[in-house]
Structure 1
């Protein structure tokens, strides 16, 4: 089923080649999640991305990665095209553009310290869980478990192993917990049940849980960015696949769930895009904005 020419509920077959509106959609801001959305399952940048970003820049369209990843990690990944891009990092707790902070929502240090102590108790009881205390300057961990550190390095380019992650002098944006079992159903999330009454406790991946202030999420970050840029929800195109993307989908009229998305995300989005492994983000952008077929990533 082709895309509709205006935003609205779509029950498209994501495997079908999507159609286009009669004219290029009036889109001024494009926001995409990273893992499971823009990147394929091997965490690779899709073919055609740099050409697409150059074309978007020529049209005055701002592109923004929105991720649980660290700002420093995102800037490195997009080094070829970072000028003018906006970065929604740490699941919305930190928004940067051209090296300038636009918004941040730091955690109370006492809350971060409490989560660290909780994880220490879980580890002492035999649970395979790790904590990453995510500051503006770096991510801090206490564990020297190489399997855990390999996961940390993937998402946090600036990372440090410290003796006491709760005592570091930095502004802490969130605490991320890595559960070697299931993040959605495992012991780490259950241990945060009381904190979830006052803070944002969100499953951001198969093994990751992020803890932030109650108002910190990708959706609130996106709304702030829209105000900064003078862009409306009707001019905003968003892509997501997992539970930490839900609020972000609500902030855009052009909201797309990937074909591989969590069922809750597919239910929340207005439209469906091809899967991440099928270069769904770039294919959808090319069709909606009538970009040259070379930017289609095919």
Structure 2
């Protein structure tokens, strides 16, 4: 088995960690989108230690809540790349888009699609996600991250607060769709969150900003915070924790930014690192 490696040696003594924040796709979940089989056992151990666990993802709150159903009591969900933070069904913070900006983005994506780019927009509302594109291949991608979604004729006219606009590009998003959104980069964040997904949010919104608000509200310091990430939308979140880990499979910029490296998402890197740092009893065979 691989051991955790990093820019510095890990301490031999248990670390005082009060909050653990983990990205989902490419980090906690394996490449098939499955959580580690022993995740719930580790979460139970953390709960007994008084350590909070927080999923931080581009996924919507409803999707995260379903994934952690039954073990979500007191859990803090940093959803929609930090634009929507929820605990025990109560919203702790949000940073919604101006509806006019959301409408401009939807129209921009319509134009890109008309021009031959295989792309579609997901309007990420607080209550559900909305899509105009309704073909099976596109909706299959949407359903992975947005369990509460519906197809609409006009996504510029939905009656919901909009957290962000997510774009799925069947090609390499960084090379096709991202450059076409240059007009939005002056006023908003245009984040390539994976090979095929791009998120457009307010400039003030990111996982790191959401995490810092959570730390302030709970009186938890960066020195008591452990964070795991793998892609560009995790960079600010890594900056908010002294114990910042990039997955071995992470984007090069993430590997450079994090203080430490964890084994890959397919090697159960998050749980193995947690167990090592907090000296949890091994649950591999439990």
Give the structure-2-normalised TM-score: 0.96
Match of 2:171 among 174, 181, 186: 181
Match of 1:85 among 42, 56, 75: 75
Range with bigger deviation, 21-30 or 266-275: 21-30
What is the correspondence of 1:118-129 to structure 2 with a 5 Å cutoff?
Answer: 118-129=108-119
Alpha-carbon contact 1:256-1:271 (below 8 Å) kept = yes
Match of 1:238 among 212, 215, 227: 227
What is the correspondence of 1:18-97 to structure 2 with a 5 Å cutoff?
Answer: 21-97=11-87
CA distance in 2, matches of 1:239, 1:221: 15
1:191 aligns with 2:180: yes
Match of 2:218 among 229, 249, 253: 229
Alpha-carbon contact 2:4-2:273 (below 8 Å) kept = no
Shift of 1:172: 0.2
Match of 1:254 in 2: 243
CA distance in 2, matches of 1:126, 1:46: 39
SS at match of 1:81: coil
CA distance in 1, matches of 2:175, 2:213: 32
Match of 2:7 in 1: 11
Match of 1:265 among 243, 254, 257: 254
SS at match of 1:224: helix
Match of 1:160 in 2: 150
Match of 1:150 in 2: 140
SS at match of 1:202: strand
Shift of 1:127: 1.6
Alpha-carbon contact 1:279-1:297 (below 8 Å) kept = no
CA distance in 2, matches of 1:87, 1:68: 11
Shift of 1:297: 7.3
Shift of 1:183: 1.2
CA distance in 2, matches of 1:43, 1:297: 22
SS at match of 1:79: coil
Post-superposition, which runs of at least 4 consecutive aligned residues in structure 1 deviate over 3 A? 1-4
SS at match of 2:174: coil
Give the structure-1-normalised TM-score: 0.93
Unaligned ranges ≥5, structure 1: 5-9, 13-18
